[in-house]
Amino acid sequence: MTENYVVDDNDLIKNCESILKSSLSSSSNTNKSVKDLSIRKQNARNRWKLLARAIQSESKHEQMMIKAHSIAPSINVIAQNFDGFDLVKIEQLRKDDRNNLIMKIDVACKRYECNVHLEKLWTVKDLIGFNNTGNITFWTSEAALCHYAMENLSMFDNSWVLELGGGMFCLCGLMIAKYGNSFAVHLTDGNQSSLQNVKKSVILNEFDCFMKASVLRWEDSVKQCPLERQKYNFILCADCLFFDDSRAALVDSICYFLSENGIALVIAPKRGKSMSLFIKKCISKGLHCQVHTYYNKEIWEKHQKFLKSNLYNEDMHYPILLKLSHLKTVK
């Protein structure tokens, strides 16, 4: 059994970058810089192709929608060199209904399912508007966080849960609301189109807890939610660390919403210095941090297998789990 890498704050603030490197020391790639450059170029080309299709489409229907559901089973809507961890199975809810899907997760021989809506979102405005990344890709990190949450469902009993930057699915929040025996779950994203999609997904499922879905821009957290200071026992956040101009606002939101004894579960690939800069910002705001590279057996085993592939870049593809708290000791 591989050990969790749990790091205390003093070590993190002294040498955050070296800690993250050592936590992923299981592989070294002599062609890493070449591979990184190739992946970045390919991802950029894919994004521009998607945008070009929206701009050049002649029919009104095509301009209103680039058919994400035609490639939904691949999880990553933008094709990438690495196809993902295959953690979520996606099927149409009904054969004659291409806009509603079933997302299935198998954890410890048990299946968890959630119905989601896939709206006709992608106009040119959608693609170049405010923080549209959640409209374009179903991130591997979100699937990994779902696996971790389903494996540890009991910790969400009777809790208030907030998902930040959940994109067009907010899948982890939906799964916890459906299976986690929580008291209330609040699903948020900064993109209006994403939240309209999420609200339709909420209607497709049955929940026993209070549910709320709303547009939330992190820099406006206090203004938009003046009565929710330190309200949430758990905060969920998947793959939201890569925008330099929003990192500080995300940390401030976590500090504001997280209860005194609460835990923020933040998951993302390392992606160069993105994670280390986020951790340093958290610590500068008084949050305590644990870094976990091993948090789920299935994900770790797939990671070890993928290390043998030239298409896999652990810096870009392997999600690392952070646990943030106001208190020194977290669960």
Domain ranges of the chain: 9-325
* DSSP sequence for 233-267: EEEEEES----GGGHHHHHHHHHHHEEEEEEEEEE
| Lowest-pLDDT range of 67-71, 162-166, 282-286 | 67-71
pLDDT tier at 273, thresholds 50, 70, 90: very high
Kind and range of the H or E run holding 40: helix 32-56
pLDDT on residue 13: 52
Would you say 257 and 162 are in contact if contact means Cβ atoms under 8 Å apart?
Answer: yes
5 or 232: whose pLDDT is higher?
232
CA 1, CA 89: separation in Å to the nearest integer?
27
**318: which DSSP letter?**
P
pLDDT tier at 303, thresholds 50, 70, 90: very high
Q: What is the pLDDT of residues 140-164, one digit of tens each?
A: 899 999 999 999 999 999 999 999 9
225 or 28: whose pLDDT is higher?
225
Residue 43 pLDDT greater than 80, yes or no:
no
pTM of the model: 0.78
pLDDT on residue 244: 86
Percent of the chain with pLDDT over 70: 68
Would you say 163 and 185 are in contact if contact means Cβ atoms under 8 Å apart?
Answer: yes
First and final CA of the chain: distance in angstroms? 20
* Average pLDDT in the chain: 80
CA 268, CA 139: separation in Å to the nearest integer?
9
* DSSP sequence for 68-83: GGGGGGGS-SS--SS-
Kind and range of the H or E run holding 107: strand 97-107
* CB proximity list for 11: less than 8 A, separation 6 or greater: 19
CA distances from 95 to 101, 129, 140 (A): 10, 32, 26
Name the range with the highest mean pLDDT among 8-17, 110-119, 209-218.
209-218
Positive/negative CA dihedral, 211, 212, 217, 219: negative
pLDDT tier at 129, thresholds 50, 70, 90: very low
Would you tell me which CATH number, out of the four given (3.40.309.10, 2.30.110.10, 3.30.420.40, 3.40.50.150), belongs to the domain 9-325? 3.40.50.150
pLDDT on residue 86: 86
CA 77 to chain centre: 14
* CB proximity list for 161: less than 8 A, separation 6 or greater: 173, 176, 177, 180, 182, 184, 185, 186, 232, 233, 234, 235, 236
